[in-house]
Structure 1
Amino acid sequence: MTTSISDTDSQTIKDEIRAEALSLGFSICGFADAAAAWPNGEWLREFVEAERHGDMGWMEETLDRRSHPTAMWTDAKSAVVLGVNYGPDVDPLEQLKAKSDAAISVYAQGDDYHDVIKKRLKLLAGWMHRRFGQDVKVFVDTAPLMEKPLAQRAGLGWQGKHTNLVSRQFGSWLFLGSVLTTLDLPPDAPEVDRCGSCRTCLDVCPTDAFPAPRQLDARRCISYLTIELAGPIPAEFRPALGNRIYGCDDCLAVCPWNKFASLSSEAKLRAREALKQPSLAELAVLNDAEFRALFSKNPIKRIGRDRFVRNVLYAIGNSGDVGLMAAVEPLLRDPAPVVRGAAAWAARRLVGEGALVLRGVEADAEVLAEWE
């Protein structure tokens, strides 16, 4: 059902929706025209055609639906775009200095933001439906909606040269969600690009994942490599991982606009004590049950124990800490080939080529070669 309203009424409705959103715990709320034409769908198609999406086959499968908000819902008129501040209490780059500890992306140190935000989106959408009588649908980034360009159109921020949203108020630290509605509301003024000549985010990338400003080659991105890629991470990128075992915050953390950022007030999104620079040695020995328990209600749980321990082993190999061989050695015979291969790589990095022969795993050379 589409609702027509006067300009005066529409501003009142927007004010009511914004007030309700803030009362539910959202940090910022803006409005965009869901039906307006935009070039982003074509840019996404070029990204996929260049195969920069890597093994993320779902991007190709949902390409048409991602091309525009109305490709998923033809009746959508307006988008209410919401942001939740998840600003950290420490500089994420500092955790890279502790080579024998793990560096986990800020967004994955607390509860899964998808669950936190989706619950609030449903509350807001339900209230909107009851209050104004229009149809609504909620979206968080597990759904095929291009939220960052929509957020820019709604005035929440702009897509920086690292392709992520940058906010004048919250810097790089905003989780996004949207409510599409048949209610026809005037859009807010879009945010303008405020990056200027700065290229700090591009230059800091450990793997040169940006072919050009606002272009990302996911196949080189540490977040993609440690989260989305299921098999062995290509050898050329492993040293650049450092101690990063899940995601990477480098391009976000160096943004000068973070000087305006503030600490998140959402307790569920704050870093759990157990995930603030945990020991690589402790993480390496997790079995499946222990892994699931440690990462209950956390986004890391979705990659599974084997892929996670693979990442930990690469970090151990980069640590230079020979004492971590005690954690590596049992994993040379792990049931998962990807774990065995990562353990072999870590052992070679820590104690040299002879390490595998001395530990009697030369018989597995063919399997290791496949998974290293």
Structure 2
Amino acid sequence: MNYPELVEKIKIWGQELGFQKIGICDIDLSEHEDALQQWLDAGYHGEMDWMARHGMMRARPDELLAGTVRVISARMDYLPPEAQFASNLADPTQAYISRYSLGRDYHKLIRNQLKKLGQKIEQEVGQFGYRPFVDSAPILERPLAQKAGLGWTGKHSLILDKECGSWFFLGELLIDLPLPIDEPSVNECGKCTACITSCPTQAIVTDGVVDARRCISYLTIEFDGVIPVEFRKAMGNRIYGCDDCQLVCPWNRFSELTQQSDFHRREAFDNSDLIRLFLWDESTFLKNMEGSAIRRIGHTQWLRNLSIALGNAPYSHDAVNALQAREGLSDVLDEHIAWALEQQQAQLPYTSTKLERLIRIVQRGLPRDA
């Protein structure tokens, strides 16, 4: 079999399937095992127990799929047109949603395209072992992408490519064919620390290491508990994810818009007014978020995130009414609503309404028979 020729075909097929870049690497990630263990030992994974549960399997692709000898790493750009980064973040009455999640959920789309790539290879070489993954298995996708030449791991821990920045998804096709491998990418961050200094919650503890427990993306998406008070002001109007470390990265000036219409802003977000989104009932939330990655956090967590943003927004009588109308749905949500109402009322001079609100807050902490 002419493997070099097959690699060229694979890269052409990848582009035809909507990927902007395809790279191939071996499966040796042993040099990353110590760092992975240290990250887990430090508790930086927060409550993402599945990261620790699989141990070093994340660095051993052949334990994930027996017989694997190569990984085809694929990149698909997602930056939507009219991203409106600055204008959206600058308006505290509008919800900021991470740009990767404005459109359809990427998992199924990319996985299907990787599966098609595997089928094309199979048509060419006959039956072989392969399996696609897109955030769906314990695998170190970023070190694999760097080994495959798709970019280097930036100080914010995301993959960066000097030709396109970082606004892209990654997917992997594990295979049992000994294909020639690509040259790994070289780190080009230099002395730049823009991502580290701009992180709203100082979650980047050192180059390439993120403490998820401080990260707004983790807090708004992966974490379903009570968000620590120390991070609520810093969250601003970010209700799902955070793009700040990418927004300030100089390499992202080379980013191109996505070719996938599925990643464009969905109609439900044409108007991202915080109060409007907060007033969605559960059925409206589920309907508007159909096919979206956001749907999986559920309505209550959606309201929790929005309540923090409303607490950071300018005083609005409508906001206060909306927050009060949602009280009693869950203890976790109530705690965030109480905080948001305090922040709203703190912007007013002392009035009878504000005093009544403060009395209610105090009474919450008193015994039932007090």
Pairwise TM-score range, normalised by the shorter structure: over 0.9
Does 1:162 pair with 2:130? no
Matches within 5 A, 1:132-171: 132-133=125-126, 134-171=128-165
Aligned to 1:33: 26
Matched, 1:74 2:69: no
Kept after mapping to 1: 8 A contact 2:45/2:51: yes
Tell me the equivalent position of 2:78.
86
Correspondence 1:56-67 to 2 at 5 A: 56-67=48-59
Corresponding residue SS for 1:76: coil
SS at match of 1:138: strand
User: Which whole-Å CA distance do the structure 2 matches of 1:43 and 1:292 have between them?
Assistant: 39
Tell me which of 97, 107, 120 is aligned to 2:90: 97
Find 1:264's aligned residue among 258, 262, 269.
258
Asked if 1:13 corresponds to 2:6, the answer is yes
- Of the three residues 134, 147, 167, the one matched with 1:173 is 167
- 1:339 is aligned, of 333, 341, 350, to 333
Q: Is the 8 A contact 1:155 1:191 kept in 2?
A: yes
Distance 1:303 1:356, change over 3 A: farther
1:229 Cα offset (Å)? 1.1
CA distance in 2, matches of 1:266, 1:57: 33
Task: Classify the secondary structure of the residue corresponding to 1:327.
Answer: helix
Q: How far apart in 1 are the matches of 2:209 and 2:111?
A: 28
Q: Indicate if the aligned counterparts of 1:322 and 1:351 stay in contact, CA closer than 8 A.
A: no
Amino acid at match of 1:326: N
Instruction: Provide the residue aligned with 2:282 in structure 1.
Output: 288
Query: Residue type of the partner of 1:31?
Result: I
Distance in 1 (CA, whole Å) between partners of 2:270 and 2:143 is 32
Is 1:308 the counterpart of 2:302? The answer is: yes
Distance 1:302 1:58 in 2: 17
Give yes or no for the alignment of 1:329 onto 2:324: yes
Kept after mapping to 2: 8 A contact 1:168/1:260: yes
Query: Following the alignment from structure 2 to structure 1, what is the Cα–Cα distance between the partners of residues 24 and 66?
Result: 18
Deviations 1:297-339 (A, max 9, x none): 00110000001100000000001232321211212x2321222
2:99 alignment partner in structure 1:
106
1:236 matched to 2:230? The reply is yes
Deviation, structure 1 residue 169: 2.2
TM-score scaled to structure 2, two decimals?
Answer: 0.92
Question: SS state of the match for residue 191, structure 1?
Answer: coil
Matched residue, 2:269: 275
Shift of 1:130: 2.6
Q: Which amino acid aligns with 1:211?
A: V
Once the two structures are TM-superposed, the CA of residue 364 in structure 1 deviates from its matched residue by 7.0
Contact 2:29 2:59 in 1 (8 A): no
Q: Tell me the CA shift for residue 41 of structure 1.
A: 2.4
TM-score (norm 1): 0.92
Output one character per residue of 1:113-156: Cα deviation in whole Å (capped at 9) or x when no partner. 10111111111112222321221111111211111110000001
Give the counterpart letter for 1:220 in structure 2.
R
Percent identity among equivalent residues?
Answer: 35
The 1-side partners of 2:355 and 2:336 are apart by: 12
Q: Is the 8 A contact 1:42 1:67 kept in 2?
A: no
Which of structure 1's runs of 4+ aligned residues deviate more than 6 A?
none
Aligned partner of 1:336: which letter? S
C-alpha contact 2:95 2:239 (8 A) present in aligned 1: yes
1:39 partner SS: helix
Which residue is 2:194 aligned to?
A: 200
273-282 or 152-161: bigger deviation: 273-282
Q: Which residue of 1 aligns with 2:210?
A: 216
Q: CA deviation at 1:203?
A: 0.8
Residue 29 of structure 1 and its aligned partner are, at CA, apart by 0.5
Q: Is 1:47 paired with 2:46?
A: no
Give the drift of 1:276: 4.5
Q: Could you list the per-position Cα deviations for residues 51-109 of structure 1 after superposition, in whole angstroms to 9, with x for gaps in the alignment?
A: 01111111111223212212312311111111101123335243110101100000110
Q: Distance in 1 between matches of 2:223 and 2:289?
A: 19
Gapped runs of 5+ residues in structure 2?
none
1:265 deviates by: 1.1
How far off its partner does 1:356 sit? 8.0
**What secondary structure sits across from 2:204 in the alignment?**
coil
Task: Give the equivalent residue in structure 2 for 1:187.
Answer: 181
| Pair 1:129 & 2:128 matched | no
The separation in 2 between residues aligned to 1:291 and 1:245, in whole angstroms, is 14
Tell me, yes or no, if the aligned pair for 1:280 and 1:312 is still in contact at 8 Å. yes
Question: What whole-Å deviation, never above 9, does each CA across 1:236-295 have from its counterpart, x for those lacking one?
Answer: 000000000000000011111111111111000111132256010011112211110111
**Secondary structure class of the residue paired with 1:283:** helix
Say whether the 8 Å CA contact 2:80–2:263 is kept in structure 1. Answer: no
RMSD over equivalenced CA pairs, Å: 1.9
Q: Counterpart of 1:127 in 2: which secondary structure?
A: helix
Distance change (3 Å), C-alpha of 1:136 and 1:84: same
